[in-house]
Amino acid sequence: MGLVQSKVQRQDDRQPHFRFLDLPTEIRILIYEELLIVGKVFYSPNRHDRFNGQRHRGFHLFRKPEVKLLGVCRQIQDEAEPIYLSKNLFILPIQWPTFQPFRAVSDRSYHYYNSGGPPPQDCRHLFSAKGLDFVQNISFAFDQSQLSSLEGGDFDYWQCQTLKYKKQSFDQLSPFERFNSFHDRQLDLVLEQWWDMASYLKHFNSKIDYLQIDFSNAFCPLGDCRPISYGLDPWIVRLDPTSIDAIGLHADEEADFEFVDGNEEFVNSEDWFGLHFRSAKDPTRWDAWMMEGDIEDHELNQHYVLPPLRCILRD
């Protein structure tokens, strides 16, 4: 009897556990927001990300979301995950179509798959499949590293130019003409590959509220031009985001932002998309979540030094 009484006494002395799910829903929502809304969500930015773009500037000053909360139980996941997905800006990696959930839902192979990409089951998840239904704010880049290595310029290429396309042979062209022919071939591939990448945005079922596009490293494979317009229309018209921030542009590249609707009419991108041209130092609403701290000098200088771009709608 004494042993039973002692065990009962020990049980009575234990602190009662806190029943989180007994809290009012409104209180739980406030807790989820405090733990999961961090402004920007980054994916282990590497040296290329930090030195060839503007999207990761000051990334160390943003808190990391407490995503382990989503694994506590199904009810908490169902309540909290839509908040996490819809309220943050997701800074997608350079090669984001090779990650899950995009590879799982795609009906075709992205061109990276054929260049040594990991099999789908080995791919890192950017977010769960629910992200395609709830994510509303995304940031991605048009980047030279997304393009395949130089193609053409070999015997087969020049033979096709002469026999199939009835153009002058290699020997008949001047060095300048050969370069232009080879360069045009690379631009054809840029158009194909950047449109291919952007087409993966079709998998978002949610309405995209905010879209950030970084053009800092949008050079052609030869590095001698910046085919900005090759990355735009028509996918951006179909996506129809509420607002767009274009960063990393040179001042004379703003004119490339012209879009055509389904009736082949030019669209006023300022009215339709809320388009803004921003420099790296222009503030955005996401900066409100930054913690106090210094941005290293190399981060301030890592981007191309451009004239200040207008942080207003284009005239």
d(CA 149, CA 21): 54
Higher-confidence residue: 47 or 7? 47
* Rg of the Cα atoms in the chain: 25
What value does the mean pLDDT of the chain take?
79
| Residue extents of the structural domains in the chain | 19-148+202-301
DSSP summary character for residue 172: G
| pLDDT given for residue 296 in this prediction | 58
Q: Name the band, by pLDDT with cuts 50, 70 and 90, for residue 110.
A: low
- Whole-angstrom distance, CA of residue 276 vs CA of residue 267: 15
Tokens (6 digits) for 194: 């950047």
Average pLDDT, integer, range 228-249: 85
The reported pTM is 0.80
Of 285, 279, 307, 281, which Cα lies nearest the Cα of 295?
281
Q: Are 209 and 241 in contact (CB under 8 A)?
A: yes
Residues paired with residue 214 on neighbouring β-strands, in sequence order: 141, 247
Please say if the pLDDT value at position 308 is more than 50: no
| 152 neighbors 185 (Cβ within 8 angstroms) | yes
Q: What pLDDT score was predicted for residue 203?
A: 92
User: Across residues 123-140, what is the average pLDDT?
Assistant: 92
Flag whether pLDDT at 121 surpasses 70: no
pLDDT class of 104 with cuts at 50, 70, 90: confident
pLDDT band at 159 (very low <50, low <70, confident <90, very high): confident
CA–CA dist 65, 108 (Å, integer):
32
**What pLDDT does 64 receive?**
94
**pLDDT tens per residue, range 204-232:** 999 999 999 999 999 998 888 899 888 87
**Could you give the percent of the chain with pLDDT greater than 70?**
75
Whether the Cβ atoms of residue 280 and residue 246 lie closer than 8 Å to each other: no
Query: What's the mean pLDDT in 86-113?
Result: 80
- In this predicted model, which residue has the larger pLDDT, 100 or 262? 100
Question: What is the reported pLDDT for 286?
Answer: 92
**pLDDT, tens digit, 9 for 90 and up, residues 253-306:** 887 776 655 565 666 556 667 888 888 778 888 989 988 776 654 444 443 333
**Is the pLDDT higher at 85 or at 305?**
85
